[in-house]
Amino acid sequence: MVVFPPCKINLGLNIISKRPDGFHNIETCFYPVPLTDILEIIPAPEFSFSQTGLQLDSQGSDNLCVRAYQLLGRDYVIPPVAMHLHKIIPAGAGLGGGSSDAAYVLRLLNEIFELGISNATLLQYAARLGSDCAFFLHNSPMLGKGKGEILTPISVTLKGFYLVLVKPDIHIATADAYRGVTPHPPAESISEVLQAGIRSWRGRLLNDFEESVFRNYPELKKIKDKFYQQGVLYAGMSGSGSTVYGIFEKPVNLAAAFDGYFYWSGLL
Strand partners, 262: 167
Contact present, 26 and 131 (Cβ < 8 Å): no
Q: Where are the domains of the chain?
A: 2-153, 162-267
Predicted local confidence at residue 142, as pLDDT: 98
Can 132 be counted among the known catalytic residues? yes
For 162-267, CATH gives 3.30.70.890
pLDDT at site 139:
81
pLDDT digits (tens, 9 = 90+) for 197-247: 999 999 999 999 999 999 999 999 999 999 999 999 999 999 999 999 999
Catalytic residue, candidates 37, 87, 101, 132: 132
87 as an active site residue: the answer is no
Neighbours of 24 (CB within 10 A): 19
pLDDT digits (tens, 9 = 90+) for 133-150: 999 999 899 999 999 989
The CATH code of the domain at 2-153 is 3.30.230.10
Q: Is the pLDDT of residue 60 over 70?
A: no
pLDDT band at residue 14, thresholds of 50, 70 and 90? Answer: very high
Give the containing element (helix H, strand E) for 57. none
Instruction: Please report the pLDDT score of residue 82 as a whole number.
Output: 98
| Residues linked to residue 207 through DSSP beta bridges, in sequence order | 13
